Every structure is written in structure tokens, then in C-alpha cells.
Structure 1
Amino acid sequence: MYDLTGFQRDLLYTIAGQDEPHGLAIKDELEQYYEKEINHGHLYPNLDELVDKGLVEKGEADRRTNIYTLTRRGRREIEARWDWEDQYVGELLSE
């Protein structure tokens, strides 16, 4: 996960927290978090890059709607990131 941007990590976390989210649901979640509009030209190329890296699978809900799910590798990458973060902030957060 070291080679991902912060936005791409947020995409992974958002996908992990939803049941087969589609692009607009992911966009809505991130817009709430960032408190600003997420451009389609920024969202979809980043989703495609996560697919290309094997972290996310892209499927079709219908002809117009794609759904995104984490792959096993995507889940492992998130778990590894949590373990790494826990080394530095785990104790701080448990106080």
C-alpha cells in the first residue's frame, strides 16, 4: 500500500465499508469526508488504477453501473496498513 496515494487509500477504505458500492456511492462518501466535490475525472482513473493493481475488482450491476469490491490482496493490504499504523498510534488511541 506504500505506493498508493492518500486518495487511493481512502477509496480502499470506502469500498471496504460498503456492500458492493458503485462509483457514485463511493463519490458521495468521499465528498462527505473531504467536504468538497470529487471530480469524476479524479475518481474513476484512481478506481481503475486500484483495479489494475489487483486491490479492487470491478463488476457490473447493470449496463450503466459498475460495482467495486476489495480483492483478498486489497484486504491484506488494509490489514497490513492497520498493523503498521498501530505501531505508531495504537497506544495513543487506547488512552
Structure 2
Amino acid sequence: MYDLTGFQRDLLYVVAGKEEPHGLAIKEELENYYESEIHHGRLYPNLDTLVEKGLVEKGQRDRRTNTYVLTRRGDREIEARDEWERQYVDK
């Protein structure tokens, strides 16, 4: 996960926290967090990067709606990141 941008890490955490979210649901979560608009041109290429890295799996709800779920590797990466952060934050 060290090679992800902060935005990509945030995407990964949002996907992990939702049940098969679609792109617009992820977009809304991040817009609430960032308190600014997230453009499609930023969202979808970064989601595709997470898919290419094997951290997220892309599925289809219907012909127009993609869904995203965390892979086992993505889950392991989040666990490792959480453990790494705890050594600095939980002291």
C-alpha cells in the first residue's frame, strides 16, 4: 500500500467500508470527507488503478453500474497499514 496516493488509500478504505458500493456512492462518501467535488476524471482512473493492483475487484450491477469490492489482498493491505499506523498513533 506504500505505493498508493493518499486519495487511492481513501478510496480503498471507502470500498472496504461499504457493501459492494458503486462509483457514485464512493464519490459521495469522498465528497463528504473532502468537503469538495470529486470529478469523474479523478475517481474512475484511481479506482481502475486499485483494480489493476489487485486490491479491488470491479463487478457489474447492471449495464451502466459498476460495483467495487475489496479483494483478500486489499483486506490484508489495510490490516498491515492499520498495524503500521498503530505503532505510531496508539502510544
TM-score interval, normalised by the smaller of the two chains = over 0.9
Identity %: 77
Pair member with larger Rg = 1
TM-score (norm 2): 0.99
Whole-angstrom distance in 1 between the partners of 2:55 and 2:12: 8
Alignment of 1:1-95 (within 5 A): 1-91=1-91
Across the aligned residues of Structure 1 and Structure 2, the Cα RMSD in angstroms comes to: 0.3
Q: Runs of 5+ in structure 1 lacking a partner?
A: none
Q: Secondary structure of 1:3's match?
A: coil
Q: Which runs of 4+ in 1 moved over 3 A?
A: none
TM-score (norm 1): 0.95
Whole-angstrom distance in 1 between the partners of 2:31 and 2:42: 12
- What is the number of equivalent residue pairs in this alignment? 91
